[in-house]
Structure 1
Amino acid sequence: MAFTTTMLSWGTLEYGHRMGLHIQEAQAAIRWATDYLLKCATATPGRLYVGVGDPNADHNCWERPEDMDTIRTVYWVSPNKPGSEVAGETAAALAAASIVFHKSDLAYSKILLKTSQEVFKFAWQYQGSYNSSLGSAVCPFYCSYNGYKDELLWGAAWLFRATKAIYYYNLIKNLGADDQPDIFSWDNKYAGAYVLLSRRALLNHDKNFDQYKQEAEKFVCKILPNSPSSTTQYTEGGLMYKLPQTNLQYVTSITFLLTTYAKYMSFKKHTFNCGNLLVTPSTLRSLVKRQVDYILGDNPLRMSYMVGYGPYFPKRIHHRGSSLPSLAAHPQSLGCKGGFRPFFYSMKSNPNILVGAIIGGPDQSDTFLDDRKDYNHSEPTTYTNGAIVGTLAYFAIANLKSS
């Protein structure tokens, strides 16, 4: 939730001017999340609430939200049960959102920023992983596989952008840039932090941030298909392919970074090289457009992986509310196991279309079975959608101008 909020906020900051009236919807979605995160951070002194509901129990059920009666255990991190990765990301989300609301609701923006600073202070002062503190409440579903240093860097980077305070700059320099990622996701934030910090080097000509510009460009070189240092697979149909579990989450997150770095490059008319490959802003935008077009239906199956978009899209996605009948259609309660038969295992289309949701996507052979049991490919996530909003806003206006 926190990563989704950070990415939706970043997209709004970079491309809000291209959203037209839709910026109000983006802000409403951000506020829905930040209201919740504020409660998580302030409800009990010394605690940051990070989860509700036993994930093992919940995953054993297939029922409508209206019928849920599984135990709603509440989980939190605290000084003696630290969780620097979840606290660092929560701080990033609140800081990014504080910038979004700075002009439209200054009082709310100040609350977000103050809370972000407090949450980040906790993340920094009591360093430790929520894997250890919360165990099966987060693993294996949302383990922090990458440690928490990236979230500390990410949180400090967002607080520096929000405050310009030397304190956060010093923390950023203290954390350094010694990781060389070829991925960007809710678990690994290094590439995002490098692109965010490179903004200072490219837009403000601040040489203190050249290190992050260089790291951002090393990341880009690992993504581009024709780069000699590329470590990224592409399917025969042209889709970036990172991992089999919800691959489109990596596509949407990485393409947002490429779009945004291209934007920063354009301000300074900057180019760079990956070996003998010259990289220009249009190099990055062309790759991003290919990925977005693929997601929206320009692929071997002519399948749009955004539900409800185009004539041919997934009909049996792995989503309880979408796959189960509404209360109007089926007033009787569906217990924990009540939704499995006949609904979960049915080959019928979901009765409720989750319009706009982007699912996990095809496999590395460009194949998609449209099977709700195959959650790796058919499950939608908020962090997949949150990352693509800014990129779609960019191309929506770019296409209007070109036409």
Structure 2
Amino acid sequence: VSPSEMLSFAKSQVDYILGDNPRATSYMVGYGNNYPRQVHHRGSSIVSIKVDPSFVSCRGGYATWFSRKASDPNVLTGAIVGGPDAYDNFADQRDNYEQTEPATYNNAPILGVLARLHGGQGVYNQLLPVAQPKPVPHPKLTPTPASSSNPITVEQRMTDSWLNHGRTYHRYSTIVTNKSDKTVKNLKISISKLYGPLWGLTKFGDSYTFPAWTNSLPAGKSIEFVY
């Protein structure tokens, strides 16, 4: 892959974030005409002291402002939210923190990308040497095909693998699909020997269920989670 191809790909990803996507939604708050209006952010959600000088406690802010369905009174200009799922689904709801929270791990890396794109197509010669990591063997995962009588299929694939202190870790993406002709309203997923966080599902006791922004899986539809 040539440097120009990598730069073009990076630009395409930024264009997607800024609105060149199937939803025509900008995931940078305040950019464009269609951007998230209910950001999962306390400072954005609570009205300015200049408008209402009343004291807002920690619990009071949650009780009074968190569940409001109105747009944020303060626009968090330039913040990048979590964004859509793998199928371009996005729910602009304040309690949908997986998609509407402007976390630092979204905003920090894009600063470098935008700075490089601002520099244009010029080649930078003063690059520091980079130590190439040793390749990590990726075990082949063969998904078990679901039987014709099983209305729910689960497809898992490994998306990353790395070494840390001599131990190998893996990241997986899993797609759950409703193959039946009915809507699934009760879902219980168990994962044994789980290390690290899981995104895209809601913890429910010793297992997981639908994410916060939905409570069912219609026929023929899928949801994806990552761990």
**Could you state the TM-score of these two structures normalised by the residue count of structure 1?**
0.29
AA at the equivalent of 2:3: P
Using CA pairs below 8 Å that are at least 6 residues apart, which structure has the higher relative contact order? 1
Q: What is the aligned partner in structure 1 of residue 106 from structure 2?
A: 384
Q: What is the aligned partner in structure 2 of residue 331 from structure 1?
A: 53
Q: Deviations over 1:27-52 (max 9, x none)?
A: xxxxxxxxxxxxxxxxxxxxxxxxxx
Structure 2 residue matching 1:290: 3-state secondary structure: helix
- Pairwise mapping of residues 354-373 of structure 1 onto structure 2 (< 5 A)? 354-373=76-95
Q: Partners of 1:364 and 1:386 in 2: how far apart? A: 22
- Pairwise mapping of residues 81-230 of structure 1 onto structure 2 (< 5 A)? none
Q: Partners of 2:116 and 2:5 in 1: how far apart? A: 16
Matched, 1:290 2:18: no
Instruction: Mark the runs of 5 or more structure 1 residues left unpaired by the alignment.
Output: 1-278
Q: Deviations over 1:297-335 (max 9, x none)?
A: 101111111111111110100000000111111211112
How far the C-alpha of 1:340 sits from its partner, in A, is 2.7
AA at the equivalent of 1:309: Y
Q: Partners of 1:303 and 1:309 in 2: how far apart? A: 10
Q: Deviations over 1:193-219 (max 9, x none)?
A: xxxxxxxxxxxxxxxxxxxxxxxxxxx
Q: Partners of 1:364 and 1:372 in 2: how far apart? A: 20
- Pairwise mapping of residues 53-68 of structure 1 onto structure 2 (< 5 A)? none
How far the C-alpha of 1:395 sits from its partner, in A, is 1.8
Question: Pick from 335, 340, 344: which aligns with 2:66?
Answer: 344
Structure 1 residue matching 2:15: 3-state secondary structure: helix
Structure 2 residue matching 1:398: 3-state secondary structure: coil
Q: Partners of 1:328 and 1:335 in 2: how far apart? A: 17
How far the C-alpha of 1:398 sits from its partner, in A, is 2.1
Flag the structure with higher strand content.
Answer: 2
Q: Partners of 1:284 and 1:394 in 2: how far apart? A: 12
How far the C-alpha of 1:286 sits from its partner, in A, is 2.2
Q: What is the aligned partner in structure 1 of residue 28 from structure 2?
A: 306
Structure 2 residue matching 1:300: 3-state secondary structure: coil
Q: What is the aligned partner in structure 2 of residue 141 from structure 1?
A: none
Q: Partners of 1:382 and 1:330 in 2: how far apart? A: 29
Q: What is the aligned partner in structure 2 of residue 319 from structure 1?
A: 41
How far the C-alpha of 1:383 sits from its partner, in A, is 3.0
How far the C-alpha of 1:283 sits from its partner, in A, is 2.4
Aligned positions, number = 122
How far the C-alpha of 1:350 sits from its partner, in A, is 0.4
AA at the equivalent of 2:19: G
AA at the equivalent of 1:328: K
Flag the structure with higher helix content.
Answer: 1
Structure 2 residue matching 1:283: 3-state secondary structure: helix
Structure 2 residue matching 1:304: 3-state secondary structure: coil
Q: Deviations over 1:160-210 (max 9, x none)?
A: xxxxxxxxxxxxxxxxxxxxxxxxxxxxxxxxxxxxxxxxxxxxxxxxxxx
Structure 2 residue matching 1:337: 3-state secondary structure: helix
- RMSD of the alignment, in Å? 1.8
Q: Deviations over 1:249-295 (max 9, x none)?
A: xxxxxxxxxxxxxxxxxxxxxxxxxxxxxx21122122211111001
Q: Partners of 1:317 and 1:293 in 2: how far apart? A: 21
